[in-house]
Structure 1
Amino acid sequence: MTTEWRWLERFRLQLELCGLGPTETCVVLSESASRASIVETALLAAQSLGAATLQVVMPTPANTGPVALRSTGTSLALRGNPAALAALKEADFVVDCTAEGLLHSRELGAILGAGTRVLMISNEHPENFERLPHDPEMAARVSRGHEMISAADTMRVTSEAGTDLTVRLAGSFTAGSTGVTSGPGSIAHWPGGLVLAFPAPGTVSGTVVLAPGDINLTFKKYVSSPIRMTVVDDFVTDISGDGYEADQLADYMAAFGGKDAYASSHIGWGMNPAARWDYLDLYDRSQINGTEARAFEGNFMYSTGANETAQRFSPCHFDLPMRRCTVELDGVAVVREGRLEGELARRPAEDA
């Protein structure tokens, strides 16, 4: 597949929003497993803005087992390579086209610490970005959501399906993704529309129940029968359910042979009104990475695996967006039964 003008135009606009221009050096970072159409479009978009643009292409590491990896939560391609890191740290701007993105990578701190801005472009079919342009009003609400989660002590999540999870937020790293970088040393992922926390060690406990229609983004499929997970001091200690999917989830996690595979990663909610939960069946699995499902408005997402706040970097990673949950911060609902509440809700005129 080669790029098309409609994709190039969207990418150019997004890079412009991040401030990329002719006075800057831009690295387009990819790996051998990256989607070629994303890399080509990003490269041409950066060049069209006059930036001094170069490519860094890393070999995707071999998967030595024990299972197929379709979601690690981070790119493993850099592997601390000093030459590649030097190029990224010297750049003003990095367009991250790696298959999983740098967000939880061991190298990210050094890159951002050098003042480099990073835009992660999710490994989706390029059509995905046509439907999810930047929304300034959403960005403002995401920023407000980030302020709210940063100021809160406790998050509690409940649902009629049986979820009842409590997260103590003290010591957590919080973020609000708008899809646009916010200055030197910042990272954003596109599409945006998430508010989330990476909890500190020992702060997550309760029950998570995945209901039919919720999404398992590692397996890239909808849940068809309830899956119940018990979480004690961050770690999933039991997985049960009536269907094969509970066994599938449990067996996959067990294959990694380590406790961190069961650990809580990031926890938050989606705020992008253009993103949809029902799009998954319209693409082949190889065409999507699931960022739209992570960002759809009113979801609650529980994730397991990598959490740099707790110094955990397991390659076993699950993002599990859930519908119809209620999310409370210090007892005040920000999401009620899958709909944003209060300051985070869209104004009625915007729904028309």
Structure 2
Amino acid sequence: MKTALITNEILFRGGINVNTVRKMFMMKSVQNILKTCLNVQPGENLLVLTDTNTIEIGEMFALVGKGMDAEVVMTIMNPTTRHGDEPPRIIAEAMKAADAIVAPTTFSINHSTARKEASNAGARLIFMPDANEEVFLDGSLDIDFYAQKEKIDKLSAIFEAGSRIRVTSELGTDLTMDISGRHAVPQTGICHEPGSISPPPCIESAVAPVEGTTEGTIVIDGAVVPGRACVDPITIVFEKGRIVSIEGKEDADMLRRTLESYNHPNVYCAVEFGMGMNPKAKIGRGGQLEDEAEFGTMHIGIGNGITFGSSIRAPGHCDLVMRDPVIEVDGKILMKDGELFLN
């Protein structure tokens, strides 16, 4: 709303083109990502990875990167068909040669072998699936990433030391999992170290449950990623780490179709427990990265667990987002009524 008011005022006074004004405001977020998040330095090889749906956003990253004296290469591929699909081999090779990568694309490249190999080679990576103009304008990228990093690091330390997570809710969720010995995966938005990755505006801490230990019922009332914000709740039952029941209305049908499309049994396996940590993200507003980033939500990731230290492999990854959870770690309240207890 604030951006729209400013835009209208500028247009009224000077007759500036609407698209020009939007690009001006988007540039602020682009600069924040390249400077604050990726810490791009003069002379570094910066790869801007786009597809035919996100060329204009990629061009802004390329322009700002060039202004920072980076050696910029921009690639354009056809959109992949779903999260976790491999990019073309020539792009995978370019990713391994880059110092830093920013990837505004239609679907996520995170859960891919190409991404893992690029990280192993030392590339710093910001990936932004479902990239669209609104996410650069709605404020979710205009946050203090360093301040949030402190909280995410504390949350990750709790996961590292924990053994058992329990999640409940007023809608009927009662889900447990074992996280003994698992390393937390903080995604803070700050990618200054070789091999670090993050998907702003989705900043979070996540941990992989021990295979086969996720048990109980979870009622998803936030969003399905990939998919959409939930219109009606989806009731999902896990037994021995695997989904055995999906009940609900149209959203439940959509989830079933999505999982069936992968034609692989492991897409039903729990591989991630995550908590959204972006105070300005909102479900259903700026794209699916925001759907799992909203502070006060949690999500269960199913399918490919390559990013989180799970041994489970699958051709795709989905996130099931729940609002208003009560979260306990080893019997101690971690989150309740939207408040996070880190001490």
The TM tier, using the shorter chain, reads 0.7 to 0.9
Of 239, 253, 258 in structure 1, the residue corresponding to residue 264 of structure 2 is 258
Q: 1:106 to 1:311 in 2, by over 3 A?
A: farther
Partner of 1:134: 143
Query: Are 1:275 and 2:281 counterparts?
Result: yes
Comparing 120-129 and 146-155, the one that deviates more: 120-129
Query: Are 1:319 and 2:319 counterparts?
Result: yes
Question: Deviations 1:34-59 (Å, cap 9, x if unpaired)?
Answer: 42232111111211111011122333
Letter of the 1:221 counterpart = A
Q: Which runs of 5+ in 1 are unaligned?
A: 64-71, 283-287, 344-352
Query: Structure 1: how far apart are the matches of 2:342 and 2:47?
Result: 40
| TM superposition shift of 1:196 | 0.9
Contact 2:86 2:113 survives alignment (8 Å) = no
Q: 1:314 to 1:86 in 2, by over 3 A?
A: closer
Alignment of structure 1 residues 218-237 onto 2, 5 Å: 218-224=226-232, 226-237=233-244
Of 149, 153, 164 in structure 2, the residue corresponding to residue 143 of structure 1 is 153
The percent of aligned pairs where both chains have the same amino acid is 25
Partner of 2:4: none
Partner of 1:157: 167
Query: Structure 2: how far apart are the matches of 1:177 and 1:31?
Result: 24
Question: Deviations 1:151-202 (Å, cap 9, x if unpaired)?
Answer: 2111111112111111211354521112120311111111142111233422
Query: Structure 2: how far apart are the matches of 1:326 and 1:208?
Result: 12
Q: Which runs of 5+ in 2 are unaligned?
A: 1-18
| TM superposition shift of 1:245 | 3.6
Letter of the 1:197 counterpart = V
Query: Structure 1: how far apart are the matches of 2:214 and 2:239?
Result: 7
Of 6, 15, 21 in structure 1, the residue corresponding to residue 41 of structure 2 is 21
SS of residue matched to 1:272: coil
Query: Structure 2: how far apart are the matches of 1:246 and 1:189?
Result: 26
Query: Structure 2: how far apart are the matches of 1:218 and 1:102?
Result: 13
Partner of 1:38: 57
Query: Are 1:116 and 2:129 counterparts?
Result: no
Partner of 1:347: none
- Give the structure-2-normalised TM-score: 0.84
Query: Structure 1: how far apart are the matches of 2:171 and 2:201?
Result: 29
| TM superposition shift of 1:293 | 1.8
Q: 1:250 to 1:24 in 2, by over 3 A?
A: closer
Query: Are 1:336 and 2:336 counterparts?
Result: yes
Query: Structure 1: how far apart are the matches of 2:271 and 2:229?
Result: 20
Q: Please give the root-mean-square deviation of Cα atoms over the aligned residues, in Å.
A: 2.3
Letter of the 2:319 counterpart = D
Contact 2:205 2:276 survives alignment (8 Å) = yes
Query: Structure 1: how far apart are the matches of 2:91 and 2:253?
Result: 41
Q: 1:251 to 1:11 in 2, by over 3 A?
A: closer
Letter of the 2:290 counterpart = E
Of 294, 302, 305 in structure 2, the residue corresponding to residue 304 of structure 1 is 302
Partner of 1:346: none
Partner of 1:179: 189
Contact 2:202 2:276 survives alignment (8 Å) = no
Comparing 169-178 and 11-20, the one that deviates more: 169-178
